[in-house]
Amino acid sequence: MRRGAAVAALALALAGPVRAQHLLVPMDRSQTDHLKAYGLTYWVLERGEPAEWFLNYQGGAFLLPDQEPVRREALLRGVRFDAVGAADVARIRGVIAEGNMEAVPLEKAPKIAVYTPPNSTPWDDAVTMALEYAGIPYSQIWDEEVVGGELSDYDWLHLHHEDFTGQYSKFYLTYAGAAWLQEEVGRNQDVARSLGFADVPALKKAVSESIRAYVEEGGFIFAMCSAPETLELALAAGPVDIAAPYSDGSPVDPGANERLNWAHTLAFEGGQLQTSPSVNAFSDIDGHQVNTPWRKELGVYTLFDFSAKFDPVPAMLTQNHEAVLPDFYGLTTSFALNRLKPGTIVLAQEGEWAKYVHGTLGEGTFTYFGGHDPEDPEHQIGDPATDLALHPNSPGYRLILNNVLFPAAKKQKLKT
């Protein structure tokens, strides 16, 4: 909605009839801006006001209080809403009670951190863009803050497309002379030295252990692209060296596979490292093997349908107005089904590969989403950032924002 039109609509709405009790924000195909609807709901929670998430009702609608500031904010953001009175809400609750739906109270606005290097990079991060577009505040943290114990300050942590093995995503194969890569290497080495680590792989392993402890103690993490696979490889490695020396591109020791400890990981087990320094893949966990000669073509992935009453957590994470979505590449695009631990829940699948998975460790949870940018299937380094104003109803970006609001929900026991 153009700002002029929004202001006109605002004046009309505020001059309209007496307030109803609530505003219902539909999340089906009738919604004008799905992504900013999440930001509106977060904004209401920040104000200390109550909100509810109607799982599987109108695509995962939100129920917000009918107050003048809320109406104003919704109109300025271009978010569609319907004013509903007590009788309307009672009718909706009756429909929810009888169907595969659930009303989940949202209790507080979660404090959000994005793990990302302190300087800008030549590519973009889908989660950061989603937060910016939706108007959801977040803090940026990196290795110093993680090693320094600051993760406990946050409810939700997103992992930028980081290589936690310390191999710099093997970008040296193509970008060895690039100034941005040399800067990244130098920055990581400086941080490792300043924090007392022998090298960058040792630093990233320590960061990975801190992230694992954060989850076990009750934190929520969400990771995309290379972060899920490399975090798990770093956790499995322990003292084993799985990172080929960056400077000369030496091969990883093939015997390292036998020494990996998959009991220490979150989602995966049994993965086999790619030991060749000339192949830009981390392991066989990624089903699509995007930067190899045996790369798989993109298809579509399908969201699974969960019982909102008995499995509210996976139901929350899969709320959408579309069930079949176009796939998109990342350094890790998908997850081989035969590499998933038995307790890992598949939320979406493309053929023989999982695209979107979730699980628990201790008191916390992890969610992994393969790929780099839901609206840029072939994203390359140097490509312009996606303009989300052109994709306000993106079903792929909705999955990201489901995860942002998930920690706001009143804790419910996962039945599966």
Flag whether 345 is in a domain: yes
pLDDT above 70 covers what percent of the chain? 89
End-to-end CA distance of the chain: 41
**pLDDT above 90 (res 219):** yes
Alpha-carbon gap, residue 99 to 120, rounded angstroms: 47
In this structure, are 126 and 97 located in the same domain? no
Alpha-carbon gap, residue 298 to 300, rounded angstroms: 7
In this structure, are 67 and 9 located in the same domain? yes
Flag whether 221 is in a domain: yes
The answer to whether the CB of 100 falls within 8 A of the CB of 319 is no
What CATH number is given to the structural domain containing 288?
3.40.50.880
Query: 351: left (phi > 0), else alpha (psi -120 to 50), else beta?
Result: left
> Out of 82-96, 131-145, 168-182, 228-242, which region has the weakest mean confidence (pLDDT)?
168-182
User: pLDDT tens for residues 280-323?
Assistant: 888 999 999 988 889 899 999 999 999 999 999 999 999 999 99
User: pLDDT tens for residues 158-188?
Assistant: 998 788 988 877 766 666 777 777 778 878 8
Query: 237: left (phi > 0), else alpha (psi -120 to 50), else beta?
Result: alpha
In this structure, are 246 and 306 located in the same domain? yes
Which of 325, 331, 308 shows the shortest CA–CA distance to 398? Answer: 325
**pLDDT above 70 (res 244):** no
In this structure, are 162 and 194 located in the same domain? yes
| 380-403: b (≥16 Cβ within 10 Å) or e | eeeeeebebeebbbbbbbbbbbbb
> Out of 8-17, 56-65, 145-154, which region has the weakest mean confidence (pLDDT)?
8-17
Domain that holds residue 11: 3-106
Q: What is the DSSP letter of 283?
A: B
Residue 83: the pLDDT is 97
What CATH number is given to the structural domain containing 8?
3.30.70
Last residue of a domain, one of 106, 133, 153: 106
In this structure, are 54 and 138 located in the same domain? no
Residue 291: C-alpha distances to residues 186, 301, 387 (Å): 25, 20, 26
In this structure, are 98 and 124 located in the same domain? no
In this structure, are 58 and 126 located in the same domain? no
